[in-house]
Structure 1
Amino acid sequence: MLKNWLEAFRLRTLPLALSCIGMGSFLAAFYGQFSLAVCILSLTTTLFLQILSNLANDYGDSIHGADSADREGPKRSVQSGSISSKAMFNSIVVFTALSFISGIMLLYFSVGIGSSTFYVFLGLGLAAIAAAIAYTNGKRPYGYSGLGDISVFLFFGILGVCGTYFLHAQSFEALILLPAASCGLFATGVLNINNIRDIKSDKAAGKNSIPVRIGMDKAKVYHGLIIISGLISSIIFLLLTNNYKTILYLFFCYFLFGKHLSNMYKANTSQEFDPQLKILALSTLLFVILFGISILDL
């Protein structure tokens, strides 16, 4: 039973949640505004949200037919019968509650209860919970309209990184939008791989992701643009903040991303695309760690 739930949590996607919080926290430390409590609670809240999103996606796709017997990717829990639909629904309720409670604690230690900033971030938190659930659930799930890429870019990039930074610093630096965009673009790349892999089953289920709309070949080009744009955004930040040596620190990551893109362009089957999900997620986390270590001279 535990194994089934761990599979449903989709642990290989969790590095993306860690990446955006890590980037925001590293940037806060770079500008002299780091708070350990904010870092820990931000990580906890984001992990709960990511697991909630994965569970809701499993449940929603099983309801709408995207996780049918024709699906070429890894079998999902509800579809395979390893977890019942009712149990999955109950787990969604539990992780919604955990995300909310953890988020309230985060706001309490960062901006305090009752301030105007508290209500702004409370609204953003509720929006994140709603977005996690509505991706594949409801009468008009936005993931079925090709809007998942925008949502991932915002929540794993701009809002995730900049929001974390603000909770540390109680202020905002315009330049952090660049590394925030990098995280968002890399996370969007992970979603794009998932959607390329599932083109056949998604098309049959009426899930009009971007790869379904533009086809595999153009989706590969789109993927390359996403990853390269993410790298360029981070390099521009490093140049503008005079962190030239960090570009050298990240050389190994550039190699990993380049190898990943090469494998993506060669891939044609779900079995070839699927490993690239984990590779890109882990490469993103490594990128953030090396980026942070370097700009802080650790």
Structure 2
Amino acid sequence: MKHWIQAARLRTLPLSVSGIIIGSMYALANPTDQVETPTEVFNWRLFGFAILTTLGLQILSNFANDYGDGMKGTDNEDRVGPKRAIQSGVISPAAMKRAIIITSILTLISAMLLIYFAFGDRYFGYSILFLILGILAIFSAIRYTVGDTAYGYRGYGDLFVFIFFGWVSTLGVNFLHSKELDPLLILPASAIGFLSVGVLNLNNMRDEESDRKSNKNTIVVKIGGAKAKLYHYFLIISAMVMVLVFAVIFDYYKDANPGEFNFDLYIFLIAFIPLVKHLIRVRKNQNPKALDPELKKLAISTFLLSVLLALSMIYLFSDLLVNNS
């Protein structure tokens, strides 16, 4: 059990639910024109299955990554990060393959229940669309490193992480709640996507040399470590700017206290502190191995940002309800 828990890489799980938190709490704090109360939009059962499905996808991705890199020999003695399950021999390839199949089935079942709770026997077209998205997400989680055409070995991992952990996660779960696509939510969705790519970029910077030897052509391998740092600064700083712009627009749009600056809405700025410290550590870093602890720190900082932003939106909306009453 200990080895399976390690293979699931628990430190990556808070990051995976960040988009779900923002998208769901935005639905709670921002009911659509077709409803009168937020409870008609937000559904706790839907929120729970969204979390469960996302965790399943992340664990599936981690299992598949362990299996794919292990079978290709990418996880070898040159690897800087912690030893993986197949690499160290604590889990056999056959057992990991079975775990991938089981996790895929369980995640698909969770996704189907999520879709049912969101749309019921209505919105048949939406149900089919989200079922296709769920299958694509499962397929993408596996194909990142598994197979001869694994897209992670061709430098497309960043794009897929941005799409699925940013846009699909945040915008998708909000649509499941509200049945509407809110353009304003693109800003925090993109921010979460960028921060998620930042975690992947850290991983690839750490493993640059071993990936190059194994012909795993990540973006870091393609552009080199120096430019990868600049790319990392762009990802983190852009995410911070987008969240700040979102808050300003959200504050103005809701106008809970006309003529007043709503300090409570900006409590998420607390999460900028560890993000800035993270950027400073990355800038000063000269040893790829020292980047490994930063993966966990960036993942937790992203989770903190999502929770604080969600709380601030809910607080502002509750303030608006009080003023209107």
Smaller-chain TM-score bracket: over 0.9
Q: CA deviation at 1:261?
A: 0.3
Give CA deviations for 1:242-282 in whole Å, capped at 9, x if unaligned.
16525641232111110000011111223310000000000
Are 2:265 and 1:256 equivalent residues in the alignment? no
Are 2:312 and 1:282 equivalent residues in the alignment? no
Are 2:75 and 1:71 equivalent residues in the alignment? no
Q: CA deviation at 1:113?
A: 4.9
> 2: distance between equivalents of 1:247 and 1:191?
29
Aligned pairs (5 A) from 1:229-244: 229-242=238-251, 244=262
Paired residue type of 1:164? V
Are 2:323 and 1:296 equivalent residues in the alignment? no
Q: Which residue of 1 aligns with 2:69?
A: 61
Aligned pairs (5 A) from 1:113-262: 113=121, 115-242=124-251, 244-246=262-264, 248-262=266-280
> 1: distance between equivalents of 2:234 and 2:121?
42
Are 2:95 and 1:81 equivalent residues in the alignment? no
Paired residue type of 1:249? I
Give CA deviations for 1:73-98 in whole Å, capped at 9, x if unaligned.
11010011010000000000010001
> 1: distance between equivalents of 2:195 and 2:212?
24
Paired residue type of 2:224? G
Q: Which residue of 2 aligns with 1:11?
A: 10
Contact 1:107/1:113, CA 8 A, preserved across alignment: no
Indicate which of 103, 107, 110 corresponds to 2:118: 110
Q: Which runs of 4+ in 1 moved over 3 A?
A: none
Indicate which of 35, 40, 45 corresponds to 2:43: 35
> 1: distance between equivalents of 2:225 and 2:47?
39
CA 1:61/1:113 → structure 2, altered by over 3 Å: closer, same or farther?
farther
- The structure with the larger Rg is 2
Contact 1:15/1:281, CA 8 A, preserved across alignment: yes
Which ranges in structure 1 are unaligned for 5 or more consecutive residues?
none
Q: CA deviation at 1:213?
A: 0.8
Paired residue type of 1:138? G
> 1: distance between equivalents of 2:192 and 2:250?
18
Q: Which residue of 2 aligns with 1:51?
A: 59
Indicate which of 101, 104, 110 corresponds to 1:96: 104
Q: CA deviation at 1:159?
A: 0.8
Which ranges in structure 2 are unaligned for 5 or more consecutive residues?
32-40, 253-261, 319-325
Contact 1:20/1:156, CA 8 A, preserved across alignment: yes
> 2: distance between equivalents of 1:158 and 1:259?
26
Contact 1:196/1:211, CA 8 A, preserved across alignment: yes
- Cα RMSD (Å): 1.2
Q: Which residue of 1 aligns with 2:23?
A: 24
> 1: distance between equivalents of 2:268 and 2:13?
22
Give CA deviations for 1:172-210 in whole Å, capped at 9, x if unaligned.
111000010011010000000000000011001100111
Q: Which residue of 1 aligns with 2:323?
A: none
> 2: distance between equivalents of 1:246 and 1:227?
23
Paired residue type of 2:276? G
**Aligned residues between the structures:** 297
Contact 2:108/2:134, CA 8 A, preserved across alignment: yes
Contact 1:235/1:247, CA 8 A, preserved across alignment: no
> 2: distance between equivalents of 1:154 and 1:88?
26
Are 2:277 and 1:269 equivalent residues in the alignment? no
Q: TM-score, normalised by structure 2?
A: 0.89
Contact 2:80/2:288, CA 8 A, preserved across alignment: yes
Q: Which residue of 1 aligns with 2:256?
A: none
Identity %: 42
Paired residue type of 2:263? K
Moved more, 262-271 or 40-49: 262-271
Q: TM-score, normalised by structure 1?
A: 0.97
> 2: distance between equivalents of 1:126 and 1:196?
30
> 2: distance between equivalents of 1:222 and 1:153?
14
CA 1:247/1:220 → structure 2, altered by over 3 Å: closer, same or farther?
farther
Moved more, 5-14 or 26-35: 26-35
